[in-house]
Amino acid sequence: MVAQLPLALQLREGNDLSNFVAGDNGALFQGVRETVLGEDRQAFIWGGDGQGKSHLLEGAVRLAQHHGLNACLLPAEEILPLSPEVLESMEQFDLLALDDCQHFAGEPRWEEALFHLYNRLMARGGRLLVTATASPAAMGLMLPDLATRLAAGPVYRLQSLADAELEALLIARARTRGLRLEPEVAHFIVLRSERSPAGLVSLLNRLDQLALAQQRSVTIPFVKDALGW
């Protein structure tokens, strides 16, 4: 099964729980850790696109692996073009992290496959983390029993970060790249860009590449020139 799903095991560089900016999501963040290492067996996290759900799951998988657990990230959007049969043996993992579960809603065969996987995983004592853009009840699932099971553990809503927290995230991510980003530059970027962690990290990647190509520091004048602001 692992050989059939290489994409499920690929974690993006840099996404770790240690660099996740929680903001007002302290209880959620602790709930994720509790699901990986504590008493909880499952948790469901929902929120808008680009707010950090994938980051959380990737960090959770890394945490599990660090503690010797067999963990797997399943990006629903990427496996949807495959057959639902790919889920048949996934209960072998100690932790399954299912990202963007809403892509399975309205797909009867996938919903049924996920329902049976859930039952097998729980019967074996496994753990499950699920993210989506809506709560289990509002996700549009056709199988009521699946919605009930996904909501059987804690359900958390991922709150958006405040501007100051987004600025801190930008500065921290820049530092990991060896890029110096002054607070006033981070403030300038946040005020004029998409207010989501994923959007800002993508923008930082672009600025880093342009700064390297042009051998320039990331200053406000540089950002204005590079982005046409």
Structure-token pair, residue 171: 């500065």
Kindly provide the b/e burial profile for residues 139-167, where b requires at least 16 CB atoms within 10 angstroms of the residue's own CB: bebebeebbebbbebbbbebebbeeebbb
Whether residue 46 contacts residue 31, with contact meaning beta carbons closer than 8 Å, is answered with: no
pLDDT recorded at residue 91: 95
pLDDT recorded at residue 7: 41
Tell me whether strands 127-132 and 71-75 are parallel, antiparallel or unpaired. unpaired
Nearest Cα residue to 197 out of 6, 58, 37, 42: 58
224 compared with 16, residue with greater pLDDT: 224
**How far apart (Å, rounded) are the C-alpha atoms in residues 192 and 40?**
40
196 compared with 5, residue with greater pLDDT: 196
**How far apart (Å, rounded) are the C-alpha atoms in residues 131 and 156?**
9
196 has pLDDT over 90 = no
User: Which of the given ranges, 13-17, 28-32, 200-204, has the highest pLDDT on average?
Assistant: 28-32
Residue type for position 99: D
171 has pLDDT over 70 = yes
**Tens of pLDDT, residues 126-139:** 999 999 999 999 99
Q: Residue range 6-33: average pLDDT?
A: 78
Whether residue 131 contacts residue 101, with contact meaning beta carbons closer than 8 Å, is answered with: yes
Whether residue 44 contacts residue 154, with contact meaning beta carbons closer than 8 Å, is answered with: yes
pLDDT band at 5 (very low <50, low <70, confident <90, very high): very low
Counting other chains too, the contacts that 61-65 makes at CB distance below 8 Å and 24 or more residues apart are 61/11, 61/95, 61/97, 62/11, 62/15, 62/16, 62/17, 63/17, 63/33, 63/36, 63/37, 64/36, 64/37, 64/94, 64/95
pLDDT recorded at residue 10: 55
- Backbone phi and psi for residue 45, each to the nearest 5 degrees, phi listed first: -125, 130
**Tens of pLDDT, residues 37-92:** 999 999 999 999 889 999 999 999 999 999 999 999 999 999 999 999 999 999 99
Q: What residue segments make up the domains of the chain, in order of their start?
A: 6-157, 163-227
Mean pLDDT of the chain: 91
Domain 6-157 and domain 163-227 have a common topology? no
Chain CA centroid to CA 36, Å: 15
Q: How many CA atoms lie within 13 A of 71 on its CB side?
A: 25
110 has pLDDT over 80 = yes
Q: Residue range 27-37: average pLDDT?
A: 96
pTM of the model: 0.85
| Structural class in CATH, domain 6-157 | alpha beta
| Structural class in CATH, domain 163-227 | mainly alpha
Please state, for a pLDDT cut of 70, what percent of the chain lies above it.
94
pLDDT recorded at residue 90: 94
